[in-house]
């Protein structure tokens, strides 16, 4: 199917420069360019990736970084259309029409790094610096709970003085301890700088969900130029962070690159090589892959970076990632517009943020504040508006956090996904959490639309017992203050 890998590439190595081999990526890009119109090879790759249905279960083999790179390089219109259709089929096979909702919560924008693409960089002297007190964290969380959110992603700049690990842990305790009306934050994901095994153990013991860290760019030379100062300058320490996280007992990790910093085909190959590495060493790939694009922010002008990608290329990247790593969740944020997000949902995205604010302390403010924002938000709709949009477009919004709290993480979640049992577990959980939102937070129009959707979607749960239990629990949710039913 593909030529042999470079001798310098070793996915089972713990050295960043061996599992993200520059030579292997260059060879991959050459191979992809040579075969971008090789219809026979492209057809074999697509056939390999196609879902196989056996005994009521579905199985997908996925693709290597080199095979997927051939698809990404392909410029044959009919084959590209086939890829987009296949990506949608794979997404529906494993995630159905469910879309998980979350919100970022910015704790602090103090940062000691010199990242040239982020307004939080240490040399930015005019941005307002802010760090939330625990009372301010509480007010932010209550505002998020009043919107209907159940899942947060914590964000903070890297600053050992202002944002030490003990501060992050204190914030997590505060968040989990807030029970407001019928609201609870049931899962806290964490997106903070690369740290030590000991600190990852502390995060695990604090009950976090997924540890998220974007690579920004896998091109080492570009990485070091884009991070000229601060601890983040260390390419190896940053790139090997997920291995330390897993050594520290965190088995759900999320990776991603910031598209627009370097050549997208290079980043795509590196991203998939990182996924292959996690699978080879730890037996489970990334729980999520995020696909942010460089956007305007405070003193950052994306036009100064010459590797931007258009919407069509961006959507093809998403589709090719979905084809290559079929079981992995994929995340898109409010960096992207409503139109782009709508198209991305069809070809691979399974999680989106809604009603997001990227400023420190932004949710408790009635008016959207901009002086501490990390990036401009393109999709500024409320969470309720996003839910109504999703449902009208045929999707099932989900606030489910059950898998983590039931211990279905890491390889246990992947086993559930690969066994085809996700429809009997995640689907009813999604319906019950949507019923909670409809009862406690929804506008009248969203509530009416949602209740009709719930009734329809209940009939699609394959297992009769699961279907009956879900229906009974939803009736209880509508009629009382009982919450948090889960399979």
Q: Which two tokens stand for residue 483?
A: 């919450």
Q: How many whole angstroms separate alpha carbon 58 and alpha carbon 418?
A: 7
* Per-residue confidence (pLDDT) for residue 369, from 0 to 100: 59
Q: How many whole angstroms separate alpha carbon 435 and alpha carbon 428?
A: 11
Mean pLDDT rounded to a whole number for the chain? 92
* Per-residue confidence (pLDDT) for residue 379, from 0 to 100: 86
**Average pLDDT, integer, range 126-155:** 96
Q: Which two tokens stand for residue 363?
A: 């949710």
409 φ/ψ sector (left φ>0, alpha ψ -120 to 50, else beta): beta
Question: Phi and psi dihedrals of 274, rounded to 5?
Answer: -65, -40
Instruction: Give the largest CA-CA distance in the chain.
Output: 63
Q: How many whole angstroms separate alpha carbon 429 and alpha carbon 415?
A: 18
Per-residue HEC secondary structure of 48-78 comes to HHCCEEECCEEECCCCCHHHHHHHHHCCCHH
pLDDT per position as a tens digit, 372-403:
556 567 788 999 999 999 999 999 999 998 77
Q: Which two tokens stand for residue 323?
A: 């084809």
| Residue from 150, 62, 92 nearest 345 by CA | 92
With residue 153 as reference, give the H or E element that holds it.
strand 151-156
User: pLDDT band for position 285 (50/70/90)?
Assistant: very high
| Residue from 381, 380, 382, 375 nearest 109 by CA | 375
Question: If you search the block for the tokens 């002086």, which residue do you land on?
Answer: 371
Please say whether the beta carbons of 22 and 6 come within 8 A: no
pTM over 0.75: yes
User: pLDDT band for position 298 (50/70/90)?
Assistant: low
Chain-centroid distance, C-alpha 89: 20
For 301, how many CA atoms within 13 A lie in the half-sphere containing its CB?
2
Start-end of H helices in 248-326: 264-282, 311-324
pLDDT per position as a tens digit, 238-249:
999 999 999 999
Q: How many whole angstroms separate alpha carbon 381 and alpha carbon 359?
A: 16
- Kindly provide the b/e burial profile for residues 161-193, where b requires at least 16 CB atoms within 10 angstroms of the residue's own CB: ebbebebbbebbebbbebeeebbbbbbbbbbbb
Please say whether the beta carbons of 352 and 336 come within 8 A: no
* Per-residue confidence (pLDDT) for residue 483, from 0 to 100: 96
Q: Which two tokens stand for residue 217?
A: 């760019």
Please say whether the beta carbons of 235 and 16 come within 8 A: yes
- In three-state secondary structure terms, 281 is helix
Instruction: Look at 120-134, 294-308, 325-339, 401-415 and tell me which has the smallest mean pLDDT.
Output: 401-415
* Per-residue confidence (pLDDT) for residue 48, from 0 to 100: 98
Query: ∠ CA 106-400-169 to the nearest 5 degrees?
Result: 35
Q: How many whole angstroms separate alpha carbon 444 and alpha carbon 451?
A: 11
User: pLDDT band for position 283 (50/70/90)?
Assistant: very high
* Per-residue confidence (pLDDT) for residue 304, from 0 to 100: 79
Burial of residue 198 (CB within 10 Å: 0-12, 13-18, 19+) is: exposed
Please say whether the beta carbons of 30 and 228 come within 8 A: no
């Amino acid at each position: 199917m593909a030529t042999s890998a470079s001798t310098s590439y070793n996915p089972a190595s713990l050295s960043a420069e061996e599992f993200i081999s520059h030579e292997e990526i260059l060879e991959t890009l050459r191979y992809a360019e040579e075969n971008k119109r090789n219809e026979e090879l492209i057809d074999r790759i697509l056939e390999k990736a196609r879902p196989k249905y056996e005994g009521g279960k579905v199985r997908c083999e996925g693709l290597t970084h080199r095979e997927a790179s051939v698809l990404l390089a392909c410029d044959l219109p009919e084959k590209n259309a086939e890829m987009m259709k296949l990506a949608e089929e794979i997404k529906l096979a494993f995630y159905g029409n469910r879309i998980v909702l979350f919100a970022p919560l910015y704790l602090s924008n103090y940062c000691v790094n010199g990242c040239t693409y982020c307004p939080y960089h240490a040399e930015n002297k005019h941005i307002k610096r802010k760090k939330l007190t625990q009372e301010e964290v509480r007010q932010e969380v209550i505002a998020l709970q009043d919107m209907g959110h159940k899942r947060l992603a914590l964000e903070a700049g890297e600053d050992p003085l202002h944002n030490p690990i003990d501060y992050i842990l204190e914030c997590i305790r505060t968040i989990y301890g807030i029970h407001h009306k019928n609201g609870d934050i049931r899962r806290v994901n964490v997106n903070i700088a690369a740290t030590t095994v000991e600190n990852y153990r502390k995060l695990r013991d604090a009950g976090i969900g997924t540890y998220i860290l974007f690579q920004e760019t896998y091109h080492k030379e570009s990485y070091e130029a884009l991070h000229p100062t601060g601890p983040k300058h260390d390419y190896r320490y940053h790139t090997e962070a997920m291995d330390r996280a897993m050594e520290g007992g965190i088995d759900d990790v999320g990776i991603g690159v910031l598209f627009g910093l370097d050549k997208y085909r290079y980043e795509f190959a590196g991203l998939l090589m990182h996924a292959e590495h996690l699978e080879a060493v730890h037996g489970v790939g990334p729980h999520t892959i995020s696909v942010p694009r460089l956007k305007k922010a405070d003193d950052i002008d994306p036009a100064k970076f010459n590797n931007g990608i258009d919407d069509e290329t961006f959507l093809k990247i998403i589709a090719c990632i979905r084809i290559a790593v079929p079981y992995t969740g994929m995340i898109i944020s409010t960096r992207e517009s409503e139109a782009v997000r709508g198209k991305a949902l069809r070809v691979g995205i399974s999680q989106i943020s809604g009603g997001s604010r990227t400023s420190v302390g932004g949710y408790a403010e009635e008016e959207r504040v901009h002086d501490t924002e990390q990036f401009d938000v393109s999709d500024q709709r409320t969470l309720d508006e996003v839910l109504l949009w999703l449902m009208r477009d045929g999707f099932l919004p989900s606030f489910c956090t059950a898998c983590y709290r039931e211990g279905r993480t890491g390889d246990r979640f992947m086993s559930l996904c690969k066994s085809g049992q996700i429809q009997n577990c995640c689907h009813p959980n999604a319906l019950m959490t949507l019923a909670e939102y409809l009862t406690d937070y929804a506008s009248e129009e969203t509530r009416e639309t949602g209740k009709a959707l719930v009734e329809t979607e209940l009939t699609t749960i394959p297992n009769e017992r699961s279907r009956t239990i879900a229906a009974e629990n939803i009736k209880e949710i509508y009629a009382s203050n009982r919450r948090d039913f889960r399979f």
